[in-house]
Amino acid sequence: MINKDLSIDFMGVHFENPFCLSSSPVGNCYDMCAKAFDEGWGGIVFKTIGPEHFKVDEVSPRFDELTKEGTPFVGFKNMEQIAEHPLDENLADLKKLKQNYPDKVVIASIMGTNEEDWVELARLVEEAGADMIEMNLSCPQMTSHEMGSDVGTNPKLVQKYCEAVKRGSSLPMMAKMTPNITDMVPAAKAALAGGADGIATINTVKSISNVDLEKKTALPIVNGKSSVSGFSGKAVKPIALRFIQQLRVAAGLEQLPISGIGGIETWEDAVEFILMGSTTLQVTTSVMQYGYRIVEDMKNGLMHYMEEQGVDHLADLVGLANKNIVPAEDLDRNYKVYPEIDWDKCIGCGRCFISCYDGAHQAISWDDKIRRPTIDTSKCVGCHLCALVCPVGAIHPGKIVMKPGREGDPEKVDVVSQRLH
Amino acid sequence: MTKKYQTEAPGYTMTTVMEEAARCLLCHDAPCSQACPAHTDPAKFIRSVRFRNIKGAAETIRENNALGAICARVCPTEKYCELACSRSGIDVPIDIGGIQRYVTDFEQAADMHILKKGNSNGMNVAIIGSGPSGLQAAVTLLEKGYGVDLYERQAKAGGYLTYGIPEYRLPSNIVDYEIKRITDMGANIHLNTTIGEDITMDQLKADNDAVIVAIGASESKVLPMFENNDAVETAVSFLARTKDAQGNIDLPKDAIVIGGGDVAMDVVTTLKKLGVKHVTDAAYEEFDEFRASKKELAGAEAEGVTILDGYIPDSIDGHTVTFKHRHMNSKLTIEADKIILAIGQTVNANNLGIRLEHGESPSAGYKTRDEKVFITGDIAQGDKTVVYAVQKGKEVADEIDSILGGNHND
C-alpha cells in the first residue's frame, strides 16, 4: 500500500495531513473528535463555541437534502446553529483532545455577539490548549443578527472582531467567510487588517432546498413553517472553488493561507481545492452522509495523485491552478475543435442528436436505420455539449481548426481533459 | 409453505425505481418503444418516472393497455422491449417490467381512473371469454361507446390470468383490480355462463351487433400413453386448482413435469414453493433452444428443480416414466408420485360454429365466415402471450368499429 507524507504547515501549525472536520455537527464533543482522529483526520475544528449568555435552542427536524434522480445528498440543508453544550464542557473537551492527541491539530471555532465576547472566548480557548482559532463570521442561520453571516458581510465588523480576538489570544487565527456576498475580497482584507492570519471558506450558502407542495412551506417543516438556512455538499463545490480562486488572485492576497471548504467528499475534490490554493481542507456534509471513514480514501487517493505527479511535498501543489484560470476576455478564441465519435463505443442512443438539435446548433443528423449520428462540421460550433450528454464517453475532442482569418497552429492547441469518465 | 406461493417478489420503491430509471439512456426514437407487440411506449413512461411524473407515466401505460399491471408482471420483456434496450450496449437492459409494475401499483394506490367509457353509440358487442384478449377488446369497445357483455363459463373472470399464472407471479388481487376497473367502466360480465349450453350462439348474435369469440386455448394436450392414469394431471388443471385454493392442496411426495415452456416452469416452481422436495422437469428442447423465458427458467432453477433437457417420454407404467434423449443414446426411468403434463394447450370451441385448424383460425385477421362473428386471442393467428392477446383485443375492437361505423366523430 502506498505511503506518502501528506503533512503540511498552515499558519505556522504542522498538520500530519490536510483533512479536518469543519466546525459543525460532526465535531460536537470529545468522543466524536477522538473517533475522527482515530480514523485518520489530521485536524478538527470543534463545533463553534459561543458565549455563556447565548442560549442555543434548536428546531426539530433540522436538515433536508436535495436529490437528483437516484442520487441522495446532491446538496444538504442544515438549520443547526453553534455548539449546544455549556461553555465549560466545550472547553474541557478541547483540553482533553489536546492532551490525548498532542500530534493532531485542535482548532477552536468561536463566535461572539460583541467585542467582549470575542476577546473572552479567544482567551478561554487558548487557555484550554487549542492550537488555532477559527472565527465563525458566517453561519447563516443564527437566531441573533449580531452573530453569523450578518456580521461576515460587514467588513467593519469583521475587522473589529478580528482585532478583538487578537487582543484575547496570540494563537494563529483564520476568519471563516460567508459566500452570501458578491465579492469576498473586501471582507477577507478586513479580516487580515484586523490581524487574521488566514481565511477559511466557504461557509454554507443561504438556501431553500425544497418546498412541500401540500403544506406550501419549505423543508424541513418546523411545525408548519420553515426558514432560509445554509446549503452545503457537492452542489456548492463550484461556488466554493470560485470564491477561493478569486481570493487567491486578488492583488495582495496571492499567498493568502486558505482552509478550503465546500462539498469535498473524494480525493479529487480535495486536490481541486488544493490546486485552487487551499492548504488545509475541511469537511462536514460527506461525513454526515458516510461517516469519518471517508478520510481513508481521500488520504490514499491523494497519495496516489502525488505519486503520479511526482510530488513529494503537498505544499508544492497548493495554488497550481490559480494562474490557469483567467478572465473570460483573455481566453484563446481563435480556434474551434470538432467532436469526434468513437464508433467502437457508440451504442446508438441518439442523446447527442437530441441535445445538439434542442440545445446547440443542429449539427448532428441521425440515421434511423443504423441508429448512428453524423456530425456536420459546417454547422458544428465545437461546443461539445454532445460529449457531455453521451452516456458512454464515445465523443471526444477531434480535429482542431483555426477560425477563418485567425493566426495560430492547431497542433499546439490544448483542449483534452484527463479527467476520468 | 403456501406463503412462498402466495408472496410476490418485492417491487421498487420511489427511491429504487428512480435509480433504475436513471440508468435509462432516454434514447432518441427509442428501440424499446418500437419493440412492444402491444405498442406500449416504455421510453415515454420511463422518462415520466425520471422526471417524477408518476401519474403521467400511469396514463401512458394505461391508455394503451387495459391490463398494464398484469403485463408488467407476466410479459416476457426479455424478448421484446428489454431485448431492444440500448443500455445493453453498456451492461444490462433497463428493468422495464419492474418500472411498469411500480407505476401501475402507484396508479392503483392513488386510485386513478384513467380509462373512460365513450359516449354511447347505442350498439352492443358480446364477448365470449374473459381472458386478456376479451378484456382488452371490451375496454377498447367501451371507450368507443359500445355496450359490452362478456360471457365466462368459469366462476371467476380473467381466464388464464385467474386460473393459470401462479399467485407468486401474478397475485389475484392485481387481476381482480384490473377487472374491476373494466366493470367500473360499464362492462357486464356474466359468470358461470357457457355459450352453446346456457345461451345459444344464435341468441347472442340476435341480441348483439357483433360477437367476439375470445375463448383461448384452455385445455391441456394429453399424449395417448398418459390417458386414463390416476398419477397423471394436466398443467391447466393443476395450476387452476392450486391458484383457486391459494396453494392449499394435497401435495405429492415427488413429481415429474413434462414440458419446457413457461407453463411447465410455472408448474415446477409452484411445486417447489409449496414444499415438494423432489421435482424433475423433462423438456423436449435442449437449453439452447428452450421455449420458457430466461426469467422463468432461472426462477425454476433457483428453487432447485432438476431439469432434463432434450428428453421425451418413451413409455409409462403406472407411476414410472421412461424417457429417452432426442439425440444421445440415453434412457432414464423415473418413478414419481405425480406426473404433470405441460406439453401445450388446445381449444374447445364446441357449439360456437367457428372453424379452427390446429386451434387457430385458418386465415389471418379477426373475421370469420359469419360477418357478425369475430375472433381474438389465442385462436387468432399470431403469438399466444398475454401481450399479444392485448394487442389482438385492441385490433379486433378497431376492426368491429370500422365495420359498424361507431361514433363517426372519433
Give the Cα separation of B38 and B58 in Å (integer).
Answer: 16
Contact A392 B22 (CB under 8 A): no
pLDDT at position A35: 98
Give the Cα separation of A45 and A259 in Å (integer).
Answer: 11
Angle between helices B14-23 and B42-50 (to 10 degrees): 120
The residue behind cell 483533512 is A19
In contact, A271 and A257? CB cutoff 8 Å: no
Give the Cα separation of B264 and B166 in Å (integer).
Answer: 11
With cut-offs at 50, 70 and 90, classify the pLDDT of residue B407.
Answer: low
pLDDT at position B408: 54
Residue A48's closest CA among A82, A25, A22? A82
Residue A69 with chain B: CB contacts under 8 Å: 18-19, 21-22, 50
Q: Is B72 exposed, middle or buried (0-12, 13-18, 19+ CB in 10 A)?
A: buried
Contact A366 B50 (CB under 8 A): no
Could you please state the CATH topology (level 3) that the domain comprising B219-344 is classified under. FAD/NAD(P)-binding domain (3.50.50)
- From the list B15, B16, B26, the residue facing A351 with the nearest CB is B26
pLDDT value at B64 more than 70? yes
Characterize the bridge pairing of strands A229-232 and A205-207: antiparallel
pLDDT at position A146: 87
Domain boundaries, chain A: 8-324, 332-412
* Residue A342, C-beta contacts closer than 8 angstroms, at least 6 positions apart: A394, A395, A396
Contact B22 A71 (CB under 8 A): yes
Residue B16 with chain A: CB contacts under 8 Å: 70
Domain boundaries, chain B: 8-109, 124-217+347-404, 219-344
Give the Cα separation of B358 and B370 in Å (integer).
Answer: 20
Residue A71 with chain B: CB contacts under 8 Å: 22
Strand locations in B246-359, DSSP E? 254-258, 278-283, 306-309, 311-317, 320-325, 331-335, 338-341, 345-346
* Residue B154, C-beta contacts closer than 8 angstroms, at least 6 positions apart: B162, B163, B191, B192
Alpha carbon of B57: minimum distance to chain A alpha carbons (Å): 16
**Average of per-residue pLDDT across B246-261:** 97
pLDDT at position B409: 44
Give the Cα separation of B349 and B355 in Å (integer).
Answer: 9
Contact B89 A366 (CB under 8 A): no
The percent of residues in chain B predicted with pLDDT above 90, rounded, is 93
How do residues A197-221 score in pLDDT, each as one tens digit?
A: 999 999 999 999 999 999 999 999 9
- Which DSSP symbol is given to B117? P
**Run of H or E including A273:** helix A267-275
Strand locations in A227-314, DSSP E? 229-232, 258-261, 278-283
Which residues are registered as beta bridge partners of A198? A174
Give the Cα separation of A321 and B147 in Å (integer).
Answer: 74
How do residues B115-145 score in pLDDT, each as one tens digit?
A: 999 999 999 999 999 999 999 999 999 999 9
- From the list A69, A348, A366, the residue facing B18 with the nearest CB is A69
Q: Could you tell me if the ipTM is greater than 0.90?
A: no
Give the Cα separation of A67 and B52 in Å (integer).
Answer: 12
Alpha carbon of B18: minimum distance to chain A alpha carbons (Å): 5
Residue B66's closest CA among B34, B38, B31, B106? B38
How do residues B325-344 score in pLDDT, each as one tens digit?
A: 999 999 999 999 999 999 99
The residue behind cell 496516489 is A304
- From the list B25, B50, B89, the residue facing A351 with the nearest CB is B25
Going from the C-alpha of B390 to that of each of B266, B287, B393, the distances in angstroms are: 21, 29, 5
| B28, amino acid identity | H
The CA angle A111-A32-A289, to the nearest 5 degrees, is: 90
**Run of H or E including B392:** helix B386-404
Residue A371 with chain B: CB contacts under 8 Å: 29, 31
**Average of per-residue pLDDT across A357-378:** 97
Rg (CA), chain A: 24
Q: Specify the 3-state DSSP secondary structure of A369.
A: coil
pLDDT at position B375: 96
In contact, B104 and B178? CB cutoff 8 Å: no
With cut-offs at 50, 70 and 90, classify the pLDDT of residue A420.
Answer: low
In contact, B160 and B131? CB cutoff 8 Å: yes
Give the Cα separation of A355 and A364 in Å (integer).
Answer: 9
> Would you call the peptide bond into A257 cis, given omega within 30 degrees of 0 as the criterion?
no
How do residues A127-161 score in pLDDT, each as one tens digit?
A: 999 999 999 999 898 888 888 888 999 999 999 99
pLDDT at position B342: 96
pLDDT at position B410: 47
Which of B28, B47, B48, B87 should be substituted to probe chain A, the one whose Cβ sees the most A Cβ atoms within 10 Å?
Answer: B28
pLDDT value at B46 more than 60? yes
Angle between helices A294-309 and A267-275 (to 10 degrees): 60
How do residues A388-402 score in pLDDT, each as one tens digit?
A: 999 999 999 999 999
Give the Cα separation of B270 and A298 in Å (integer).
Answer: 51
pLDDT value at A379 more than 50? yes
In contact, A133 and A86? CB cutoff 8 Å: no
Considering the four listed CATH numbers 3.90.1150.10, 1.10.8.60, 1.10.1060.10, 3.30.56.10, the one that applies to the domain covering B8-109 is 1.10.1060.10
Residue B212's closest CA among B112, B128, B114, B105? B128
**Superfamily name with CATH number, domain A8-324:** Aldolase class I (3.20.20.70)
* Residue B73, C-beta contacts closer than 8 angstroms, at least 6 positions apart: B8, B97, B101, B169, B170, B174
How do residues B360-395 score in pLDDT, each as one tens digit?
A: 999 999 999 999 999 999 999 998 899 999 999 999
Rg (CA), chain B: 22
pLDDT value at B1 more than 80? no
Give the Cα separation of B308 and B298 in Å (integer).
Answer: 14
In contact, A259 and A247? CB cutoff 8 Å: no
**Average of per-residue pLDDT across A107-121:** 97
Q: Which of A20, A29, A33, A139 is catalytic?
A: A139
> Is there a shared CATH topology between the B124-217+347-404 domain and the B219-344 domain?
yes
How do residues A262-285 score in pLDDT, each as one tens digit?
A: 999 999 999 999 999 999 999 999
- From the list B15, B28, B50, the residue facing A353 with the nearest CB is B28
The residue behind cell 374447445 is B348
Characterize the bridge pairing of strands A395-402 and A335-341: antiparallel
The CA angle B211-B212-B215, to the nearest 5 degrees, is: 130
Residues in chain B: 410
The domain defined by A332-412 carries CATH number 3.30.70.20: yes
pLDDT value at A418 more than 80? no
The percent of residues in chain A predicted with pLDDT above 70, rounded, is 100
Q: Could you tell me how far CA A294 lies from the centroid of its own chain?
A: 16
Q: Specify the 3-state DSSP secondary structure of B190.
A: strand
In contact, A246 and A226? CB cutoff 8 Å: no
Q: Among this protein's residues, is A139 annotated catalytic?
A: yes
CATH assignment, B124-217+347-404: 3.50.50.60
Residue A391 with chain B: CB contacts under 8 Å: 25, 90
